Amino acid sequence: MRESSAWRAIVLVALAVGLLARTGRAQDPPKQDQEDYVKAHYTKYEYRIPMRDGKRLFTSVYVPKDASQSYPILMDRTPYSVGPYGEDQYKKTLGPSDEFEKAGYIFVYQDVRGRYMSEGEFLEMHPHIDVKKSSKDVDDSSDTYDTIEFLLKHVPNNNGKVGIWGISYPGFYTSASIIDSHPALKAASPQAPMTDLFMSDDAYHGGAFMLAANFGFYSSFKPMAEPAPPPKVSVPFDFDTPDGYLFYLHAGSLRDLNERYLKNGNWLFTDQMSHDTYDDYWQARDLSRHMKNIRCAVMVVGGWFDAEDLSGPFKTFHAVDRNNPGTPDSLVVGPWVHGGWARSPGDRLGDIQFAAKTADYFRALIQFPFFEYYLKGKGTPPPKAWVFETGTNVWRKYDSWPPAQARPKTLYLRAGGKLSFEPPSENEGLDEYTSDPAHPVPFVDYIATAVPQRYMTDDQRFASRRPDVLVYETDPLEEDLTIAGPVSPRLRVASSGTDSDFVVKLIDVYPDDYPDSDPDAGTKRILGMPPLRMGGYQQLLRGEPMRAKFRGSWEKPEPLTPGQLAEVDFTMPDVNHTFRRGHRIMVQIQSSWFPLVDRNPQTFVDIPNARPEDFRKATEQVFHRKDAPSGVEVMVLPPAGD
């Protein structure tokens, strides 16, 4: 039966309205107008800047045409190309946000060593060299230093002050630039900086390999043999299925995945996969160990729901603070996904709304004033910590992070699926489930091949109904409860296997009568689809895996003894969230989270090279008795007025 023309028209209009509500596309400024503005107000230059070892780094420089005054330099160093190439080819926008383009800056973009048009050898997160004995000892700190030296001498109308910013991998290069920093470098903002890839940044979390994110990234981020511009057409990896869960499940071990789909041809992925303990490879790439001799103001930026580099901002901030007393150092964290503060209004993530355009606020009132103050002497410096509190949806300013007034309290697992700040008093108590690597717990309840950014706040009701997921929750809260700081599970477990993962999720459970807030409700009504029900929503706040074999050492894993009680303690990245009155606090525990995390065979083997027969079911036990209490430690703020 064919649809009527009128019905089709109604559906098309409704879909268009729904799409615009989600994307905001109708309000985007025309790209051509942006490019015309840049061309009218800036002159572009291209340099191949010599480094101390003789290699030359390709650098694009945009200088204001108004030569009546001098301007600070604002840099971005990247492995992702500074294109378009050619002095007559202009970027459509300049700087971190629109405010900078019109305020008067010299913008500098550089291909880092060994990427695109720059010479030299590219190394993944190039290890920093503390003591440079000759001109051959180069790293990203020295490359930035040499670049600044060149720019100060060759770029007209600069005022002798330099700032630098970057997000994700460029955030790593920003962090590297401030070590033994050039005297002219006055302000730096590492944003979502890759800092320690094994310790809860991109590569590993809790010793578990972040499968979908790593394969998705390295299937397109490839080594380069010699300087070359990016290909005219980028060809994404063909999964040959929309279902990433089935793709990775059928791929087998990490070795099988690498051989079958990458042909062992990408040493970047092979390195990530094969270095599956915290060995010298990873330790040499922990940039936080080298955060010394920093002579510029630093503003570290991160997002509470960053699925890639959530730990990096906190580790960088604390390292700068610890090793450089007197250096202006601040932390900004908002309710954002990876880089979301630069690209979106920041008013929602998935089903969760934040009641304000938080990214617009950051760009105009936090980031822009930071550089204006330290590069032009305008305004005032930022507070030590400027963080968004989810739940209440307000910005907070603190003199330290975590806030000095936050105190540790433990949410204990109790019998009958209860969760309480009171420890168990019973002499016996445990819950158990069977973990089957052939049927791992999915991390989302919809079809995807990539890692959807929204998973960080997704509804967990689908997981709570599985028999291989343990669920504990409080009674409805009588008053608001605010936590601010790291989340630290303290588990007492036993397994029938010789290794297992324990995934812990901290969840905010909405009251059953919570009002719906579905922007596409009208469209769904027309199409006969059910609207999203927010009553009873189980919002993920923080979730992390812990591979039990690393419970005693990240460098030297040890097997579990089947049936023997073991202590599995670890720390998850920080949160700043208020559980509102009437909400419940929930903790879920499971032993797989697929394909976000690679499957643990649940036998003590070399996981990247595990054979099919190594993957076995295991019975997992979680204890909650007086002499073996399990729980999750959180940092609780006192109620307002206390």
**pLDDT one-digit tens code per residue, 300-309:** 999 999 999 9
**Phi then psi dihedrals of residue 555, to 5 deg:** -90, -35
pLDDT of residue 25: 30
Predicted confidence (pLDDT) at residue 1 exceeds the cutoff of 70:
no
CATH number of the 407-636 domain: 2.60.120.260
Q: Quick one: average pLDDT of 38-64?
A: 98
235 band by pLDDT with thresholds 50, 70 and 90: confident
pLDDT of residue 287: 96
Whole-number percent of the chain with pLDDT over 70: 93
Peptide bond preceding 402 in cis form (omega within 30 of 0): yes
Q: Tell me which amino acid residue 13 is.
A: V
pLDDT of residue 520: 66
What is the chain's mean pLDDT, rounded?
Answer: 93
pLDDT of residue 281: 96
Residues 6+ apart with CB under 8 A from 324: 291, 292, 293, 294
Q: Quick one: average pLDDT of 326-355?
A: 96
For the chain, where do the domains classified as CATH 3.40.50.1820 start and end? 25-196+285-398
Q: What is the DSSP string of 315-370?
A: HHHHHHHHH-TTS-EEEEEES-STTHHHHS--SEETTEE-SS-HHHHHIIIIIHHH
Q: Distance (Å, rounded) from C-alpha 582 to C-alpha 593? A: 29
Residues 528-581: tens digit of each pLDDT: 666 788 999 999 999 999 999 999 999 999 999 999 999 999 999 999 999 999
pLDDT of residue 234: 82
Q: Quick one: average pLDDT of 498-527?
A: 84
Residues 416-432: tens digit of each pLDDT: 999 999 999 999 999 99
Predicted confidence (pLDDT) at residue 642 exceeds the cutoff of 80:
no
pLDDT of residue 33: 77
For the chain, where do the domains classified as CATH 2.60.120.260 start and end? 407-636
Nearest alpha-carbon partner for 16 in 7, 4, 25 = 25
Q: Distance (Å, rounded) from C-alpha 106 to C-alpha 159? A: 10
Residues 344-361: tens digit of each pLDDT: 999 999 999 999 999 999
27 band by pLDDT with thresholds 50, 70 and 90: very low
Predicted confidence (pLDDT) at residue 17 exceeds the cutoff of 50:
no
- DSSP β-bridge partners for residue 353: 348
Angle of helix 267-274 relative to helix 211-218, nearest 10 degrees? Answer: 160
Residues 211-223: tens digit of each pLDDT: 999 999 999 898 9
Predicted confidence (pLDDT) at residue 11 exceeds the cutoff of 50:
no
Total-model pTM: 0.93
Residues 189-202: tens digit of each pLDDT: 999 999 999 999 99
Q: Please answer whether residues 181 and 294 qualify as being in contact, where contact means their C-beta atoms are separated by less than 8 angstroms.
A: yes
Q: How many residues does the chain have?
A: 642
pLDDT of residue 575: 98
Q: Please answer whether residues 469 and 589 qualify as being in contact, where contact means their C-beta atoms are separated by less than 8 angstroms.
A: yes
Tell me, what DSSP letter sits at residue 536? Answer: T
Q: Distance (Å, rounded) from C-alpha 260 to C-alpha 237? A: 13
CATH number of the 25-196+285-398 domain: 3.40.50.1820
34 band by pLDDT with thresholds 50, 70 and 90: confident
CA atoms within 13 A on the CB side of 362: 32
Residues 291-302: tens digit of each pLDDT: 999 999 999 999
